[in-house]
């Protein structure tokens, strides 16, 4: 490529040649990150739970749809220099800022849910996707546990229904036995059931004899 370039230049030929610099974008981000840590050329401050984060609007807007809408609404002179963000955790915002300036997201099992929540609020889809992938095994395990709990509950309900049915059958049998006893008692003679016959008055007894 260099030889062809020299030959074209020697012949007075003006060809457009694109020369890529693969490390340029990472070097720019690295420089911006150094400025952020040094507090240089920062044009916005984010406050989360009394913690200040000096940063650059352009970097935030390039990564987050939320910040892009926030920083492009109205004129620049109307926009405040300080924004208080009360819907994210400090550790989540720190991880997201590191991602914005280094292209690397640092996640732990203890903060992945907070980062996912912050990414959803700030509308950073790539972080949302990776957090969901990381949490997928845990979600599957939770679903299995929930299914097992539901199965256990169903078994308990079935046992309770069986017990209720057995109790109903037992009550029915007891009622039938009681009914049989009462019917037998009704057909017994007074002497057999312990009743004393009513005495007939003597006057009526005489009439009855005549």
Q: Indicate whether 170 belongs to any domain.
A: no
Considering the chain, what is the average pLDDT of its residues? 78
User: Domain for residue 178, yes or no?
Assistant: no
Whether 142 is covered by a domain: the verdict is no
**DSSP assigned state of 196:** P
Mean pLDDT of 23-44: 96
Question: Which range, of 115-129, 138-152, 169-183, averages the lowest pLDDT?
Answer: 169-183
The reply to whether 71 falls in a domain is yes
CATH number reported for the structural domain that contains residue 39 in this entry: 3.30.710.10
User: Is 20 contained in some domain?
Assistant: no
In a domain, residue 158? The reply is no
What distances in angstroms separate CA 109 from CA 116, 120, 123, one per listed residue? Answer: 12, 18, 21
Share of the chain above pLDDT 70, in %: 62
Distance CA 56, CA 59 (A): 5
Cβ contact 61:71 at 8 Å: yes
Whole-prediction pTM value?
0.60
Is-contact 122 64, C-beta < 8 A? yes
| Residue 2 domain flag | no
Can you tell me which residue has the tokens 């911006």? Answer: 32
> Could you list the residue range(s) of the whole structural domain that residue 112 is in?
25-135
In a domain, 8, yes or no: no
Condensed to tens digits (0 to 9), the pLDDT of residues 148-207 reads 666 666 666 666 777 777 777 666 556 655 444 444 333 343 344 444 444 444 444 444
**Count of domains observed in the chain:** 1
């Amino acid at each position: 490529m260099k030889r062809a370039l020299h030959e074209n230049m020697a012949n007075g030929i003006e060809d457009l040649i694109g020369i890529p610099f693969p490390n340029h974008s990472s070097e720019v981000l690295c420089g911006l990150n150094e400025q952020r840590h040094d507090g240089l050329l920062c044009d916005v401050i984010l406050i989360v739970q009394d913690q200040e984060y000096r940063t650059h609007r352009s970097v935030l807007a390039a990564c987050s749809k939320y910040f892009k809408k926030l920083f492009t609404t109205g004129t620049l002179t109307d926009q405040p220099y300080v924004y208080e963000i009360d819907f994210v955790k400090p550790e989540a915002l720190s991880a997201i800022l590191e991602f914005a300036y280094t292209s690397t997201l640092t996640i732990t099992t203890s903060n992945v849910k907070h980062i996912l929540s912050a990414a959803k609020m700030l509308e950073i889809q790539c972080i949302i996707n990776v957090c969901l992938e990381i949490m997928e095994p845990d979600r599957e395990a939770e679903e299995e546990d929930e299914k097992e709990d539901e199965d256990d509950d169903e078994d308990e309900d079935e046992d309770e229904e069986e017990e209720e049915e057995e109790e109903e059958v037992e009550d029915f049998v007891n009622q039938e036995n009681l009914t049989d006893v009462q019917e037998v008692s009704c057909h017994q003679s007074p002497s057999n059931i312990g009743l004393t016959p009513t005495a007939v008055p003597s006057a009526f007894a005489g009439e009855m004899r005549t």
